[in-house]
A and B are shown apart, each in its own frame.
Chain A
Amino acid sequence: MIDPAAPLVIGDIVDLLTSPGEMSRIVVEGLAKGSLYLMISAGLTLIFGLMDVINFAHGAFTMYGAYIAGAALLGLGVGSMGFLGAMGSIFVVMLLVFLLLAAVGVIFEVALIRKLYEYPPIFMILLTFGLAITLEELMRMIVEFREINNGQWQIDWATPRIESVPSELASVNELGFFSFTGLQLIQIAFGVLTFVGIWAFLNKTRYGLFVRAGVEDEEMAKALGININRTFTAVFAVGSGLAGIAGVMLALDPLWAVNVPLALAVLLPAFVIVIVGGLGSFKGTAVASLLVGMIDALGTWAFQTGVITFTDLDQLMIFGILVVMLILRPRGLFGVEGQGDHG
């Protein structure tokens, strides 16, 4: 080992890992990260499950949400508003971002995506991939033109973020064994809210019933009088809006940099989660989000405590799960055979 301070023997690692304080730290962080991952991947899974559309532009929507949120929170001076004012502002920004990106989603679905339902999947992949590149480059142009990044193409919004986030969110609170930041609590709260909201939409509303029926058998749903096209548009709008909201959450979190590559940084784990959870299964996506969140937290913890001395173990493990899942159970945790096929 090159770093003389780092080496830890197995016994130290076990001691560390089994100490209640450390464990609770990992669990809280895992829940918070899992919540973020759920918000990132929920829209993707809804869109794929119903429409068989692999939306490569999903990450770009999140990146736009993050930029809009960052700009709005800085512009409003949220950091100096006091806790309640700041939270209210964040909430309003979130709502606006949702509506804005949902509207963008409607335009994309009606103007572009709808034209290609009849064609083989590769057409749709190329379209959404092209959309993703276009959106990313457009944002890059805006960022460079406005000199938001002082000439560097990857800007670090961590500094302005401290101004944009009330101090209550950053400070650490203790409760028994558990220590958590306000930001983690908010992330978990929004994760739960996302889960409950989508679950209720799918299971308790008539529209949700149409969505689930359409996921299983599109032809039969149409033959029962369900306007699947309109359902598709609505789902694409909701999915895009959710991607935007995830961006707002990421803009608040100093671990995520608000920059153009954020689009890809979000898209990859979202794909892993959707596949591991089972294509088209919202329950699977929720479980896989938690799983990936926990692993991410464990990897981050291992690095911070010096158990390992290289970064990105979490990434390695996340994609490791994907590989193992594809070998052992290609349909994912809760996937149904044939789901996502075109047969």
Chain B
Amino acid sequence: MTLLELEGVHTYYGESHILQGVDLEVGDDEVVALLGRNGVGKTTTLRSILQLTPPAEGSIRFKGEELVGKDTYEVAEAGIGWIPEERRMFNRLSVEENLRAAVPTAAGVAEGLELAYDTFPILEERAGQRAGDLSGGQQQMLAIARGLVGQNELLLVDEPSEGLAPKIVTDVGEALLSASASVPILLIEQKLGLALDLADRYYVMDHGEIIDRGETAGVTADDEQLRRYLSA
């Protein structure tokens, strides 16, 4: 069943026409990768869904409900979580406070913390530290944990492996894989191998439009066509 559906979405940054009619779907039990070179509108697509950069035209439906025109916090309340590029920690808040802020209700805090610490034990060790003092990998885990404790029904994940050491990338990949067992994900990822490993389907974006789509089964990171799309 379709969980998220974008139809003819046009989004502008000031005068710049970034998204030029994006159509995209995410089902309720799949991981979908959004591929493309830098600056083609992938992050803007996520920001449009979240209503951080509201679309000028088009429709974005989540569980059949129109998101365009809502406030960002209402989109989050509807069950969409964001694990943004560069992680966006609340640096001066502690690890635990970052998690608390992400739990939707006061009553759910204990349960949320437990879930986060079970998934990433290192976060429990660092619970009292300022999030800004964590390493890049630990911050990425905290960012993912914030998405997990939000009781979300869809996660928007933007460049989770960016700037991380290879060993850490593996850990993050595993964390996302285990998360995907319980929650659908729309993923932006530059590392094609990782994206194909995690995703069931992919879309390729260029100049603000979807130019290709397909199943990831049988597609490898060496795929000629995909490499051509993604090469600068």
Contacts and interface: CB of A to CB of B under 8 A. Distances in A.
A220 B150 CA distance: 13
A224 B98 CA distance: 10
B71 A217 contact: no
A226 B73 contact: yes
Given A224-B150, A225-B150, A227-B73, A219 B52 contact: yes
Given A213-B90, A336-B92, A206 B100 contact: yes
A225 B52 contact: no
A156 interface: no
Interface residues of A, number: 19
Contact of A212 (B72, B76, B93, B104): B93
A223 B77 contact: no
B71 A210 contact: no
Contacts of B217: none
Nearest to B79: A225
A230 to B, nearest CB: 9
A222 B97 contact: no
B84 A220 contact: yes
B82 A223 contact: yes
A224 B52 contact: no
A265 interface: no
B154 to A, nearest CB: 13
Given A217-B90, A220-B90, A225-B150, A209 B100 contact: yes
B71 A206 contact: no
A228 interface: yes
A19 interface: no
Contact of A213 (B52, B75, B101): B101
Given A216-B93, A229-B71, A223 B101 contact: no
Interface string A216-253: 11011111111111000000000000000000000000
Contact of B77 (A210, A220, A225): A225
B173 to A, nearest CB: 23
Nearest to A227: B73
Nearest to B91: A216
A65 B100 CA distance: 37
A223 B50 contact: yes
Contacts of B50: 223
A137 B103 CA distance: 47
A81 B92 CA distance: 49
Nearest to B106: A206
A216 B92 contact: yes
Contacts of B102: 224-225
B146 interface: yes
Contacts of A216: 90-93
B221 to A, nearest CB: 31
Contacts of A220: 82, 84, 88, 90
A209 B131 CA distance: 14
A222 B70 CA distance: 12
Interface string B91-119: 11100010011101010000000000000
Nearest to A220: B88
Interface in B7-50: 50
Nearest to B156: A223
A216 B93 CA distance: 9
B52 A212 contact: no
Interface string B47-91: 000101000000000000000000111011100011010001011
Contacts of B72: 219, 222-223
Nearest to B46: A223
Contacts of A209: 93, 97, 100-101
Given A209-B100, A213-B101, A217-B88, A222 B73 contact: yes
A225 B90 contact: no
**Highest count of chain A CB atoms <10 Å: which of B73, B75, B82, B84:** B73
Contacts of B91: 216, 336
Contacts of A228: 73
Given A206-B100, A213-B90, 15 more contacts: A206-B106, A209-B93, A212-B90, A212-B97, A216-B90, A216-B93, A220-B88, A222-B52, A222-B71, A223-B72, A223-B75, A224-B76, A224-B146, A226-B73, A226-B76
13 contacts: A209-B101, A216-B90, A216-B92, A216-B93, A217-B88, A222-B52, A222-B71, A223-B73, A224-B76, A224-B82, A225-B150, A227-B71, A336-B92
